[in-house]
Amino acid sequence: MSKEVKDDDSKILSDAIVEGMQENKAEDIVVLDLRDIENAVCDFFVICSGDSSTQIEGISSSVMRHTRKELSERPWSLEGKGSKEWILLDYVSVVAHIFYKETREFYDLEDLWADAVRMNIPNID
């Protein structure tokens, strides 16, 4: 498979993850395009915030349901479901980070990957 096809697939997956997040009213969604960053761990990070542990778990469930339904994709791994402060869904080429607001501020992934192309997704009311 050519790099261009792989890039298209990872972009489609990142868009589906955003849609899954929006279905559960995730806030402050940011997509970081890491494709031009040397030694990046994946093609995209999709980051969002939730107001409660219940919402964080709901967002992760929504993302998994949406990506499975639309693209027949399942995460390679799921981390943090027990802590309810940060759930990570690893789809290999795209990693979704679902944070409790204060935890997101603490880790500040957007600043850590500041060289990435950043796309802010407007909140849905």
Burial, 110: exposed, middle or buried (Cβ in 10 Å; 0-12, 13-18, 19+)?
middle
Look up the domain containing 14 and give its range: 3-121
Query: Is the model's pTM score more than 0.85?
Result: yes
* pLDDT tens digits, 69-116: 999 999 999 999 887 799 999 999 999 999 998 999 999 999 999 999
Q: Is the per-residue pLDDT at 6 higher than 80?
A: no
Query: What pLDDT is recorded for position 4?
Result: 52
Q: Is the per-residue pLDDT at 7 higher than 70?
A: no
Query: What pLDDT is recorded for position 2?
Result: 47
Query: What pLDDT is recorded for position 1?
Result: 46
pLDDT > 70 fraction of the chain, expressed in percent and rounded: 94
* pLDDT tens digits, 24-82: 999 999 999 999 999 999 999 999 999 999 999 999 999 999 999 999 999 999 999 88
Write the CA distances from 72 to 35, 65, 111, 118, 119, integer angstroms.
Answer: 23, 9, 32, 27, 25
**Mean pLDDT in residue range 9-32:** 97
The CATH number of whichever domain residue 28 belongs to comes to 3.30.460.10
Cα–Cα distance for residue pair 86/67, rounded to 1 Å? 19
pLDDT > 90 fraction of the chain, expressed in percent and rounded: 84
* Residue 98 β-bridge partners: 48, 87
Q: Is the per-residue pLDDT at 3 higher than 80?
A: no
Tokens 């778990």 label which residue?
57
Amino acid identity of residue 60, one-letter, is: S
Total number of domains in the chain:
1
